[in-house]
Amino acid sequence: MSLTAPPHDPPMPVLTIALATLRVGVRDRTVLWLGALFMGMVLLSAWLGWSASHTTAQIYAQAVLVFQHGGRPVPPNPLGDVPALSMLRNMTTYVSLLGALVAIVLGCETVAEDRRAGVIPLIASRPLARGGYALGKVLALLLAVVGLLVVAGGVNAASLLMLASAPLTSGDWVGLAGFYAVSALFLSTFGLLAMASAACSRSETMGLLVPITAWLVLTFVFPQLSANINPMAALNPIKAMIAPPTGAFFDIVGRLLAPVSLVSTYRDVAATLLGFAPADTASFGVRGGALALTVAGLLSGGLALLTLSTMDPTHGDGDA
């Protein structure tokens, strides 16, 4: 579907551009493969959480028999204070890893596909259409991210209803909705940054490399600088329950990096919403963290709109 209109027609509607972009995106094999892998991890997350709880319950049941046989008092069930949403604790890792990669690839492809098709020079020849084009691309990315998370949320909700050991309360549903809301902010930020990078770069490779590098630094380097957390330990969703090593250097650097540590902020907020207590001394809390993610999303959205509206049309094929 062409994204251009005759020279004397009014600018194309933003929604039309967004829907055309989504139709192209759902045919991209890389995006589809990463999306399918992410959904597989969503299913695996619920099963792993249930399996861990089920194993603990079986061990406790056997321990009860031993205590009763020996005439000793039975200790309380360790699962009694475990929140129902703890089944989804691995989702914080899957969203910050696979989900972020899906958003980055999708953000780059929304621009790269038009460069390969030679659409950018045509858009640039009609100045009135460039603002609508930029808005349509941003809207397409947001719709794709929200759509992916809505499906994931539906899968998680069904899993909780079938596998949870206790009925879910209204607070649990609010926590689940809040988790996916901050996940949408987090993924949209990386997708919009990737879109801006693709619009600025003269090659598809560089357009994809820049946001991936930024994601790697935020995911693995910043946690080690701010809290002396091993890069692999930073992937552990239980990390938010354990107090990180302390020290003057890490306290100072942690506070300095806190405003831009999007991955750490997201994991602390997500862990709290799923029932875990954040341990980072530089943590903003749920409200502060959500605000930080919102500001990051708005800034990346503004950058994407600016770069899309001022793209260099001389390299329509995306080659350097």
Domains of the chain by residue range: 21-309
What is the C-alpha separation between 292 and 171, in angstroms, rounded? Answer: 23
Model pTM score: 0.79
Structure tokens at 41: 């991890």
Q: State residue 268's pLDDT score.
A: 83
Q: State residue 49's pLDDT score.
A: 67
Q: Is 278 helix (H, G, I), strand (E, B) or coil?
A: coil
**Helix 127-163 with 29-69: angle, nearest 10 deg:** 20
Question: What's the maximum distance between 2 C-alpha atoms anywhere in the chain?
Answer: 90
Going residue by residue through the chain, which has 320 residues, state the pLDDT in tens, using 9 for 90 and above. Answer: 445 444 444 445 788 888 888 887 777 777 788 888 888 888 877 777 667 666 766 676 777 677 777 777 767 665 556 677 777 878 888 898 889 999 999 999 888 888 887 777 777 666 556 788 889 999 999 999 999 999 999 888 888 787 766 677 888 889 899 999 999 999 999 999 999 999 888 888 888 999 999 998 888 777 666 555 555 555 555 554 455 555 555 556 556 665 667 888 888 888 888 876 554 544 667 888 889 899 999 999 999 999 988 887 666 554 54
- For residue 223, CA distances in Å to 138, 163, 173, 226, 252 come to 30, 33, 30, 5, 13
Q: State residue 296's pLDDT score.
A: 92
What is the C-alpha separation between 91 and 41, in angstroms, rounded? Answer: 8
What is the C-alpha separation between 90 and 302, in angstroms, rounded? Answer: 31
Structure tokens at 319: 């080659």
What is the C-alpha separation between 216 and 42, in angstroms, rounded? Answer: 22
